[in-house]
Structure 1
Amino acid sequence: MEAGGVADSLLSGACVLFTLGMFSSGLSDLRHMRMTRSVDNVQFLPFLTTDINNLSWLSYGALKGDGTLIIVNSVGAMLQTLYILVYLHYCPRKAKVIQTKSAQHFSFSLTIATLLASASWTLYGFRLKDPYITVPNFPGIVTSFIRLWLFWKYSQKPARNSQLLQT
C-alpha cells in the first residue's frame, strides 16, 4: 500500500472513530436525564443540529454509495433521535447560557468530540478534494470554538473575597 493510501486509511479511521465518539458522548447526557428525570445542564440544540446533519450525510452517503457514510450517520441519526425524544420527555423549560452567564449547561465532552470529528471530516474532505464533505463540517469547527470560548468566558471562578481555609 502506498503512503497516500495509508494516510487516507488512517484519516478515514480517525473520522469514523471521532464521529462515533461524538455521537456516543450524548450517552452521559441521556443517563443524567434518566437518573434526574430532568434536563438540567443538558442542551437541546446540539442534539437537533447533529440529527439534521446526520440525516443530510446519510442522504449524501446513499447518493454516493459510500458505506462508511451510511453506517456512521445511521448510527448517529438513531442516537440523536433517541437523545431528542428523551430530552422532550423530561423538558419542562429551556436553560440559557448567556442569560445565566454559566457554561454549566454545555457538555464539554460533546464540544471536544464535535471539534475532533468536524476537524477530521474537514481534513478528509480536503484530502479527497470533495467540497460536499469539507464545507458542511467546517461550521462544526467554528461552533466548537465558540462553545470553548463560552466555557472560558463563563467558567466558574472563585469569588474574590473568599477567605483561605485556616489549618
Structure 2
Amino acid sequence: MISFSDHEMILIFGLLGNIVSFLVFLAPLPTFYTIYKNKSSEGFQSIPYVVALLSALLLLYYGFIKTNATLIITINCIGCAIEVSYLTMYIIYAPKKQKISTMVLILICDVGGFGLTMLISTFAVKGINRVHAVGWICAIFNIAVFAAPLSIMRRVIKTKSVEYMPFSLSLFLTLCATMWFFYGFFDKDYFIMLPNVLGFLFGISQMILYMIYKKAGKNIKTNCTQQQEREGTENSKQHSCDGYKIDIPSLVEMKENQLN
C-alpha cells in the first residue's frame, strides 16, 4: 500500500487546488463574452469581481508572509490577474453610473481595504503574530464570501427555480473547498482549513437544492404544457403556472401578421 508523507499530501492537494481554483476563476468567461459581444455591461454587477479580487489579494499577501506557501501564491497571482482583467473589461463597457460606482468600490475595497490591512499588519503586529493576524482576516473574509450564496439559495427556494444557481459552478466550488481543506489539514494551517469546511457544506447544500428544484421545475413545466394542450390554442392567451409564463399566439394573429 502506497503511503504519502504530509509534505507530499500538501503538494498533491495544493496542485489540485490550483487547478480547480483556476477553473473557478474562469467560470465568468461566458458573462464577459456576452458583455464584449453586446458592448455593454448593463444588467451585470461588478461586486462579485471586486470581492474576488480583494480575496485573492489578501490570500496572496498571506502567502508571502507565511513560509513555504508557494502554491497559495501562484494561484492567487493568477486570480488577481484574471479579476483585474474582468474589472477592466467591465469598466470599459459599463454605463457611466456603473463605471463610477465600480471604480469607487475598487478604491474603497481593493485599494483601501487591502492597503489598510498591509499597514496595520506591518506596523502594529510583528513576527508570527503578523501571520496569525492576516490569517484571521483571510479566514473571516472567506467565511463571509462562502456565506454569500445563502441569498441565492433563498431565492431558489422562494422561486422554485435553479436558473441563477448553475450546477457546474456549485460543483467546482465544492471541489475547490475540498482540495484547500485537505491542503490546510496536512499543512496544519487552520486559517485555510476552517473556512473551506463552510465552503464544502454550502457547496453540497447548493447541489442538493439544485437536484430538488430542477426536478420540481420540470414537473411544473410538464403540467403547464399538458394544461395548454387541454385548453387548446384557438384564442390568444397568456397562461401562467406557478411562476412559469407561456405566451401562445393565436392562429388568427399569425394570419394577420402574414397578411401585413
Deviation per residue, 1:110-151 (Å, 9 max, x gap): 322221111110111012221021123333323433443553
1:53–1:134 CA distance, 2 compared to 1 (3 A): same
TM-score, reference length from structure 1: 0.73
Q: Does residue 161 of structure 1 match 2:224?
A: yes
Q: Which residue of 2 aligns with 1:141?
A: 200
Structure 2 counterpart of 1:50, one-letter code:
A
TM-score (normalizing by structure 2): 0.51
| CA distance 1:135–1:11, shift in 2 (3 Å) | same
Partner of 2:135 in structure 1? Answer: none
User: How far off is 1:58 after superposition?
Assistant: 0.6
Offset, 1:152? 4.0
Q: Which runs of 5+ in 2 are unaligned?
A: 99-150, 230-260
2:4 corresponds to which residue?
3
Distance 1:70-1:7 versus aligned 2 partners, 3 A rule: closer
Counterpart among 52, 57, 60 of residue 58 in structure 1: 60
Paired position in structure 2 for 1:132: 191
Spell out the pairing of 1:52-91 with structure 2 (5 A cutoff). Answer: 52-65=54-67, 66-87=69-90, 89-90=93-94
Count of residue pairs the alignment pairs up: 162
Aligned-pair RMSD on alpha carbons? 3.4
Distance 1:149 1:39 in 2: 32
1:84-123 → structure 2 map (5 Å cutoff): 84-87=87-90, 89-90=93-94, 98=155, 101=159, 102-123=161-182
Inter-partner Cα distance in structure 2 for 1:15 and 1:77: 16
Q: Deviations over 1:59-83 (max 9, x none)?
A: 1101114222112101112212333
Q: Is the 8 A contact 1:25 1:109 kept in 2?
A: no
- Structure whose alpha-carbon radius of gyration is higher: 2
What is the aligned-residue identity percentage? 21
Pick 1 or 2: higher relative contact order, CA cutoff 8 A, min separation 6.
1
SS of the residue 1:103 aligns to: coil
Query: Matches of 1:84 and 1:140 in 2, distance apart?
Result: 24
